[in-house]
Structure 1
Amino acid sequence: MSEMSETARDEGALHRPVARLLRPLVRLFVARGITFPALTNLLRELYVNVAEYDFALPGKEQTDSRVSLLTGIHRKEVRRLRGAGAPVSAVPATVSRTSRIIARWIADPRFTDPDGRPLALPRSADGEAPSFETLVAAVTRDLRPRAVLDEWLDRGLAFSDEHGRVVLAESAYVPKGGGEPQLYYFGRNLHDHIAASVANVIGETPRFLERAVHYDGLSEDLAGRLEARARAIAMDALREANREAHAACEDDAGGRHRWNFGIYVYTEESGAAPDDPAAGGAA
């Protein structure tokens, strides 16, 4: 088979899964006012950037002509767009600070109960006894614990119980409201999920774990019950992974690698039920 016909075959095979992947993103773009021309400009820049940095030949200078050939974008446009550098996703300061404090609260044995659940913490305590003050101080000395607590209470990340202790809210695990923290994790988590899938598709053997359990043709009640149970299983797995990673980092020399372990749960009304009312599987 010729190289051209292989390329056409690959494009045809990718069309449906890519269209399905992009549909919820297009829904977000339309809802947030990102027009098609604006998206086209962004895609043009990304095509040039990926071709320039991810498809460079070892020992050879990447040329405008080769980038144009790889992307189908005119050389004049390639020349204008090249050299911007690979995109860097900087972690917003508020996201980094908050996520590190929450991660320690749910991982450090000093701040969790025997079952690994985050303790309700007094606002302050004598010495190094567990408190919200010692929790924040264990992560950063640059911020006053009272300022962090006021921010968290205002954002609903924590609340005070009847004894005046600080309690981590369930909502603290998942940023919401479409603000900077939620959009940061939206980009980070989707990027890593898609990057793992792409690596598995284009690699000789699947490298990353990327699996799902799925059942179709369910009643609304059963779908809801399965979603609730999956949430509980997922949170237990995430807490355990966080505890082990937190403990392992204490003795790690550090380096340039990063690790991300994510879980998602999704249910929807999907139209006509399949012939088998309990069709399911794992993939």
Structure 2
Amino acid sequence: MSDLPAPPAAPALLRPLARLLRPLLRLMIRAGLTWPVFADLVRGLYVQVAAEEIASAAARTDSRLSLMTGVHRKEIRRLREQPPEAPDLPPVVTLHSQLVARWLGLPAFSDAAGRPLPLPRTSAAGEPSFDALVSAVTRDVRPRAVLDEWLAQGVVRLDAGDRAVLQEAAFVPRPGTEAQLHYFARNLHDHLAAATANVAGAQPAFLERAVHYDGLPPAIAERMEALGRAAVDRMLVEVNREVLAMLDGQPEPPPGTPTRRVNLGVYLYTEAETPPERRG
């Protein structure tokens, strides 16, 4: 079983689960994803995760999984015979994020405030350029191919001096694209993973904090949103620059070397509140 402390009792989870699932269910309904399809997905994941919770492979019997999940043994046998899921990290997303991170974080490609500098397409060796930016990350894709794709997507534009200018709107993937859905899954997974570990009593606790107000006048709510966006931009740029500086010049770790994955994210959400009913 997992080495995390015991979670709260199952009945106590029902109300918070109902609340956190509502936005996801709303998205699925609007996207036309029906209940039978979603139920089959969840059923398979339930069995898969339950199997992962059992430390010994020999103990992962259909009977034990049926007892843990409430899924019938015949259904468990069918689900366990299905092929494993393919990796869900699109290479284009990885390349895009690496290039934007370096453009925003390396002193050669950004100013002191972390704003991306306009980049000439090519330059002398050692000088910043779009070609140098791409070539430092990959040799498998030509810089011109990346530039043409980003121009078509609106990620960059060319200024009067024929320099590539990173568009601020490009920091967030466009709605419905492969990149946005990738980050949608990864960021929500990591936030839930941190939150559930904290609920189960993980030590040390993962970072999970928020500044929240109810009943704000619209003008103050808008000002709080603007303050939050500006503060988050500064924080992410600063952390990105510090990590890139630490990694600069470090060789690739040998195969088999232990590594860790870190995802630092924040969110901001606002909505209109339902006015309370007046009591007569």
**TM-score normalised by length of structure 2:** 0.89
Residue 34 of structure 1 corresponds to 33
Higher relative contact order (CA 8 A, sep 6+): 2
Question: CA separation in 2, counterparts of 1:201 and 1:25?
Answer: 21
**Matching residue within 234, 258, 261 for 1:258:** 261
Match of 1:279 in 2: none
Partner deviation per Cα, 1:85-128 (whole Å, 9 max, x = no partner): 76564311110111111111111111111222211111211222
Q: CA deviation at 1:216?
A: 0.6
> Which residue of structure 2 aligns with residue 278 of structure 1?
none
C-alpha distance in 2 between matches for 1:263 and 1:88: 28
Please point out which of 268, 273, 278 is paired with 2:271. 268
Preserved CA contact (<8 Å) 1:100 1:139:
yes
Residue 3 of structure 2 corresponds to none
Q: Deviations over 1:204-226 (max 9, x none)?
A: 54520111110110122221121
SS in 2 for 1:167: strand
CA-CA distance at 1:260 after TM superposition: 0.4
- Which residue in 2 is equivalent to 1:70? 68
CA gap of 1:120–1:193, structure 2 versus 1, over 3 A, is same
SS across alignment from 2:157: strand
Equivalent runs, 1:102-141 vs 2, <5 Å: 102-141=100-139
Paired residues of 1:122 and 1:166 also in contact (CA < 8 A)? yes
Which of 140, 143, 164 is 1:142 aligned to?
140
Cα shift at 1:79: 1.1
Q: Provide the C-alpha distance between the structure 2 equivalents of 1:256 and 1:273, rounded to a whole number of angstroms.
A: 51
Paired AA for residue 103 in structure 1: A
Counterpart position of 1:277: none
In the alignment, does 2:15 pair up with 1:12? no
Find the aligned partners of 1:76 and 1:102 in 2 and give their Cα distance. Answer: 48
Given residue 99 of structure 2, which amino acid in structure 1 is its aligned partner?
I
What is the SS of the residue equivalent to 2:212? Answer: strand
CA distance in structure 1 between the aligned counterparts of 2:216 and 2:152, rounded to whole angstroms: 40
1:37 maps to a residue whose letter is P
TM-score by length of 1: 0.88
1:50-92 CA distance string (max 9 Å, x none): 0111x11447531111110110000111111125576564311
Which one-letter code corresponds to 1:144 in the other structure? Answer: R
Aligned AA (1:262): G
Query: 223, 226, 237: which one pairs with 1:228?
Result: 226
Identity %: 50
Q: Give the SS at the match of 1:213.
A: coil
Asked if 2 retains the 8 angstrom alpha-carbon contact of 1:49 and 1:84, the reply is no
Letter in 2 for 1:91: L
Q: Is the 8 A contact 1:52 1:82 kept in 2?
A: no
SS of 1:111's equivalent in the other structure is coil
- Give the corresponding residue for 2:173: 175
Unmatched tracts of structure 2, length 5 or more: 1-5
Q: What is the alpha-carbon distance in structure 2 between the residues aligned to residue 66 and residue 85 of structure 1?
A: 21
Deviation track 1:117-148 (CA, whole Å, cap 9, x = no partner) reads: 21111121122211111111111111111111
Native 8 Å contact 1:107 1:239 kept in 2? yes
Deviates more, 1:161-170 or 1:143-152: 161-170
Give the Cα separation in 1 of the matches to 2:182 and 2:30: 18
Greater Cα offset, 204-213 or 117-126? 204-213
Query: In the alignment, is the contact (CA less than 8 A) between 1:49 and 1:86 conserved in 2?
Result: no
Amino acid at match of 2:100: I
- The CA deviation at 1:253 is 5.7
